[in-house]
Amino acid sequence: MTLPVIDLRSDTVTLPTPEMRAAMADAAVGDDVFREDPAVNELQEVIADLLGKEAALFTPSGSMANQIALRTHCQQGDEFICESGCHVFNYEQGAFAQLSGLIPRTVDGKYGVLRLDQVQGLIRPDNEHLARTRLVTLENTHNRGGGKILPMESVKEVCGWAHENGLATHLDGARLFNAVVASKTAAKEWSQYFDTVSVCFSKGLGAPVGSALAGTKEMIAAAHRHRKMFGGGMRQAGIIAAGALFALRHQVDRLAEDHELARQIGSAVAEVPGLTLSPPPETNIVLFDLDMHLGTAAEFSARLEERGVLAMAFGPQQIRAVTHLNVSLAEGPRICDAIAACAEDAVSGRPASHVTSTYG
């Protein structure tokens, strides 16, 4: 009997549950560009309240939410400070430059964490020769940091420094609810230090589409205009907003199961010679590096695929595995056994078939 494929490439591969599908089918809808969609309006009110903000805006994607935030805080030619591995800088096609004419100032953090001493002194003087520093953006949890939860104290210090110096702050909280569940800290406690916050509904929360941007009423009014310009105005979007509402009401606490599965996988990885966690998982992302004698990440992911486990080559020698609601704790032993067996195959010299790479 062929076992079903276990897909750990991303938590974006989640499928809506039957209950979520029913909620979506029953959603009351209207024209959201006219701000008349009841489900969208309800979702925006609910997420604004959860984040402790005055208002929120539903967007098709997290990338759009982030780019709207940058556009809201900055003008053409302005500079924003970000961690060098963050999603905004690496995975949004340089949209900050293409759409808004902005310049990034990147800082290397440890697993995505920026310290106060790293950003102090980065604000450019008010000089006609220089770009104007306007914004600091952070990511929590941090994707390339292996699902790292930003330490609350560092968030408070960096954002406090930014505000004291007249800079705005934005949080890319695509996986903020993973941080909420793992740290047992309410979303509004995390978001209180930021002028705007984006969150994603289509990752671990399991909705099929959508993100949101939250902030003051004035900022969200400006964000409405930017969303329209970026092509993000949607009509009867209540069908997808209902999925996000269902996720917020029913699928937040269960993120703890994803975190437990990630810890199980991480423990197994730590036992395999030649594999190194980077770092040990705190939430639902497992990153591990391969010693050269085990081959490349593309080859290792191909070996895993042969054993029915999909994971992502996240660098030349790095694998990413992301747990989510469509992979159960009961499948943990099979995943762990596959990782160990693939390492043994590499040592024995058995070639991997069908090698492809999602990395450069």
Weakest-pLDDT range from 37-51, 323-337, 345-359: 345-359
Distance between CA atoms of 145 and 241, rounded to whole angstroms?
29
- What mean pLDDT comes out for the span 17-32? 97
351 vs 38, residue with greater confidence? 38
**Backbone phi, then psi, for 201, in 5-degree steps?**
-100, -15
Tell me: do 258 and 243 sit in the same domain: no
Distance between CA atoms of 165 and 167, rounded to whole angstroms?
6
Distance between CA atoms of 231 and 301, rounded to whole angstroms?
36
Report the candidate in 172, 184, 200, 188 with the shortest Cα–Cα distance to residue 114: 172
Tell me: do 203 and 54 sit in the same domain: yes
Distance between CA atoms of 358 and 91, rounded to whole angstroms?
13
Residue 355 — very low, low, confident or very high, per pLDDT cuts 50/70/90?
A: very low
1 domain residue, yes or no:
no
356 domain residue, yes or no:
no
User: Which pLDDT belongs to residue 354?
Assistant: 56
Percent of the chain at pLDDT exceeding 90: 95
Distance between CA atoms of 7 and 119, rounded to whole angstroms?
38
Distance between CA atoms of 65 and 172, rounded to whole angstroms?
9
Please report how many Cα atoms fall inside a 13 Å half-sphere around the Cα of residue 229, on the Cβ side: 12
Kindly state the tokens that stand for 36. Answer: 């008349």
Containing H/E element for 259? helix 255-270
Distances (CA, A) of 166 to 162, 195, 219: 6, 12, 16
Tell me: do 167 and 200 sit in the same domain: yes
Structurally, the chain folds into a number of domains equal to: 2
Q: Are 65 and 198 within 8 A, CB to CB?
A: yes
Residue 353 — very low, low, confident or very high, per pLDDT cuts 50/70/90?
A: low
Question: Which residues form the domain of 340?
Answer: 6-12+254-348
284 domain residue, yes or no:
yes
Distances (CA, A) of 41 to 22, 64, 66, 69, 169: 19, 19, 20, 19, 25
Residue 348 — very low, low, confident or very high, per pLDDT cuts 50/70/90?
A: confident
- Which of 250, 282, 303 represents a domain boundary (last residue)? 250
115 vs 353, residue with greater confidence? 115
Strand partners, 198: 172, 213
Tell me: do 163 and 132 sit in the same domain: yes
Tell me: do 80 and 158 sit in the same domain: yes
**Count of beta carbons in the 10 Å neighbourhood of residue 337:** 13
How wide is the angle at C-alpha 7 spanned by C-alphas 291 and 277, nearest 5°? Answer: 30
User: Which pLDDT belongs to residue 2?
Assistant: 78
Q: What is the pLDDT of residues 64-85, one digit of tens each?
A: 999 999 999 999 999 999 999 9
354 domain residue, yes or no:
no
Tell me: do 137 and 259 sit in the same domain: no
- What mean pLDDT comes out for the span 18-31? 97
For residue 343, the domain's CATH number is 3.90.1150.10
**Which residue type does 94 have?**
G
User: Which pLDDT belongs to residue 303?
Assistant: 97
Report the candidate in 98, 103, 96 with the shortest Cα–Cα distance to residue 81: 103
Report the candidate in 251, 248, 229, 247 with the shortest Cα–Cα distance to residue 59: 229
Q: Are 170 and 92 within 8 A, CB to CB?
A: no
Tell me: do 245 and 275 sit in the same domain: no
- What mean pLDDT comes out for the span 289-296? 96
User: Which pLDDT belongs to residue 350?
Assistant: 72
Q: Is 87 left (phi over 0), alpha (psi -120 to 50) or beta?
A: alpha
For residue 156, the domain's CATH number is 3.40.640.10
Q: What is the pLDDT of residues 246-292, one digit of tens each?
A: 999 999 999 999 999 999 999 999 999 999 999 999 999 999 999 99
Residue 358 — very low, low, confident or very high, per pLDDT cuts 50/70/90?
A: very low
330 domain residue, yes or no:
yes
- Which of 227, 250, 273 represents a domain boundary (last residue)? 250
Residue 239 — very low, low, confident or very high, per pLDDT cuts 50/70/90?
A: very high
Tell me: do 35 and 183 sit in the same domain: yes
- What mean pLDDT comes out for the span 94-123? 97
Tell me: do 264 and 228 sit in the same domain: no
Tell me: do 87 and 224 sit in the same domain: yes
Percent of the chain at pLDDT exceeding 70: 97
164 domain residue, yes or no:
yes
Q: Are 259 and 267 within 8 A, CB to CB?
A: no
Compute the mean pLDDT over every residue in the chain, rounded to the nearest whole number. 96
